Amino acid sequence: MTTTTTRVTDLDFWARPFEEREEVFARLRAESPVSWHPPMEGGIMPSEREGIWIVTRHADIAEVSRDPERFCSGEGVQFEDVPDDLLEASHSFLAMDAPRHGLLRKLVSSAFTPRQVAKLEDQIRAQARAITDGLLEAGEGDFVDLVSRRLPMWTVYEMLGLDAAQQEHAAHLADRMVGFNDPAVIGDDEPGDVLNEALVGLLQIGLAFADERRSHPADDLMTNLVNAEVEGQRLSDDDIAAFFVLLSVAGNDTTRNTISLATHALGRHAEQKAWLAADFDTRIGTATEEFIRWATPVMTFRRTATRDTELAGQPIARGDWVGLMYASGNRDERVFDRPRELDLSRHPNPHQGFGGGGPHFCMGAFVAKMQIREITHQLLTRAPSLEVGEPVFQVGNFVRAVQQMPCRVR
Amino acid sequence: MPFRDADDVTTYIGGIFEAAFEDPELADKLRATGVVLQMRFHEPAADVVVDLINQSVHDSAEGLAVGATLAMSAETGNAYWQGKVNLPLAMAKGQVKVDGKVAGLLKLAPLSKRLYPTYVARLQADGRHDLVV
């Protein structure tokens, strides 16, 4: 069994800067692309595991992602042990395998009718404009608070049709769910209490909201979800509530952090910013992909081996946990030329920012890209003098979360 | 109402833990959670208090430092110990109310999973098919 002296499963490792972690990943990619580490530190219950395989090369991450029969999601996707019912109530189809995974995805996809998607584009454009108005009016403050936090929350909940008065509270609960390991988020509370309380709160909102739309349909995604029918199957209220939790977490945090980190990157790469602004419509496509590679908002997911197998020559036993390091895949020198440089014209850009491919590829990728495009356009054209300071990151292995980032418009 | 009376609840729900304490490996792990768990049932009303530290089952919390209390109908409790109730969803629906540290319950979660089959097996062995869900 391969062991390493650098444990990427220590909480301390995830408190280090991204660039320092990348040094470790670069070494692992070169010397030990599939390596064994002790169980992840932290978490809400004691781990019954001896450890986890850590996969650092792009090709191996893709291989695992694209072979769900060999590496399943149904036994959880986080690096920490989580009780089964908590997983079921919070991860929806993210932590499911075929055939139920496919069915639920199809049901949810069917709610995104062409009419909803067209409406969504107009909504996002108007929201990005309004948020930029607010930024210009404020002049300075916290970029996360003023901009990047607001757009995804607004987009996701407006798309669903959630009452505006509940949006802020729901987003706050989603933040607590992701930040349960970070003392800055939870204070003196126990991680398990924080996680469960936030989850139950989101489930309550989701259940009540689904119920409301069954009796009072509207022109929104939640109405489409409660009415969705595929192959004679429908979503139960429990299914919808769990999907509401998934969407609240996956839809809020990921795009928020990409927007923060993309804006930070543009602030530090004036020539790239000028290049993008010079021909925005033609260049935003490749730029968006590079922002996502650069940010890697979701840094990890996990799979479980369904049988004895091998990965990059390393034997893996049935039941072993396999951790996918997207942040490492996105800097893999075997795939990306000058991987540590921001290049908004990079093409092709097979980044793993939406996962490593396969059936769990991010379903909301098109929504995320729309938001990045619209907010970047607004900021470049209406706040070209925007300056941002250094981001403060949340400690954790899952989402690369920027908690604060000072900003000023001159 | 699945259970006949409070004694019936205590016999079967309490019995889950009495059986678990007989298994040395499981008993050690249960003790390590450091939890005194109180289950307050209604329909029929019954208290089942499990002291995982001292490995004893009681019908009242008197004199015990309860770490977490779960309140639910006996019917929900019966389904819960067969692995048929999702705790966070049941909490969101108000079917289960929790007082105290949920964190303690989460420590118990991986062990609870091992208790479900023995509970179902006991019900079947006693001919209590009415309780199997």
What mean pLDDT value characterizes chain A? Answer: 95
**Over B37-83, what HEC string results?**
EEEEEECCCEEEEEECCCCEEECCCCCCCCCEEEEEEHHHHHHHCCC
Q: Does B88 touch chain A (CB under 8 A)?
A: yes
User: Is A35 buried (19+), middle (13-18) or exposed (0-12) by CB count in 10 A?
Assistant: buried
* pLDDT at residue A335 tops 80: yes
Give Cβ neighbours of residue A76 (< 8 Å, ≥ 6 apart).
A82, A87, A91, A95, A302, A304
Residue A190 or A78, more confident: A78
Lowest-pLDDT range of A142-146, A180-184, B81-85, B89-93? A180-184
Which residues in chain B have their CB less than 8 angstroms from residue A192's CB? 101-103, 106-107
> Residue A5 has what pLDDT?
58
Which of A191, A193, A207 lies nearest to residue B93, judging by beta carbons? A207
- Quick one: tokens of B101? 């540290």
Mean pLDDT (whole number) for A171-192? 85
Query: Using CA atoms, how far apart are residues B59 and B5, in angstroms rounded to an integer?
Result: 13
Count of beta carbons in the 10 Å neighbourhood of residue A193: 20
Flag the least confident range among A97-101, A322-326, A354-358, B103-107. B103-107
Please tell me if residue B89 touches chain A, with a CB cutoff of 8 Å.
yes
Please check the confidence at residue A46 and state whether its pLDDT lies above 80.
no
For A48, phi then psi, to 5°, come to -100, 10
CB proximity A203 to B under 8 Å: yes
Q: What distance in Å separates the CA atoms of residue A257 and residue A288, rounded to the nearest whole number?
A: 13
B92 touches chain A (CB under 8 A): yes
> Which of B86, B93, B103 is nearest residue A88 as measured by Cβ atoms?
B86
B132 touching A (Cβ < 8 Å): no
Examine the pLDDT at A181 and tell me if it is beyond 90: no
Identify all chain A residues contacting B80, using CB atoms and an 8 Å cutoff. none
Q: Is A186 on the interface with B (CB under 8 A)?
A: no
- A5-9, A122-126, A182-186: which has the minimum mean pLDDT? A182-186
* Per-residue CA distances from A193 to A114, A135, A180, A208, B88 (Å): 41, 35, 9, 22, 12
Query: What confidence score (pLDDT) does residue B1 get?
Result: 62
Nearby residues of A163 by Cβ (< 8 Å), 6 or more positions away? none
- For residue A176, the chain B residues in CB contact (below 8 A) are none
What tokens were used for B89? 């969803």
- Which pTM does this prediction carry? 0.93
d(CA A121, CA B47): 56
Alpha carbon distance A105, A64 (integer Å): 20
Q: What is the pLDDT of residues A96-153, one digit of tens each?
A: 999 999 999 999 999 999 999 999 999 999 999 999 999 999 999 999 999 999 999 9
What dihedral angle (degrees, nearest 10) is formed by the CA atoms of A265, A153, A352, A60?
130
Confidence of residue A372 (pLDDT cuts 50, 70, 90): very high
Interchain contact B61–A (C-beta under 8 A) = no
Which chain A residues are Cβ-neighbours of B91 within 8 angstroms?
196, 200, 203
B97 touches chain A (CB under 8 A): no
Using the beta-carbon criterion (under 8 Å), do A238 and B86 form an inter-chain contact? yes
User: In terms of CA atoms, which chain B residue is nearest residue A191?
Assistant: B103
Per-residue model confidence (pLDDT) at position A301? 97
CB B20 within 8 A of CB B48: no
Question: Where are the alpha helices (H) located in A270-399, listed in sequence order?
Answer: 270-278, 280-295, 326-329, 365-382
Burial class (CB in 10 A: 0-12, 13-18, 19+), A286: middle
Q: Which pLDDT score, from 0 to 100, does residue A179 have?
A: 83
- Identify the bridge partners of residue A392 per DSSP, sorted by sequence position: A404
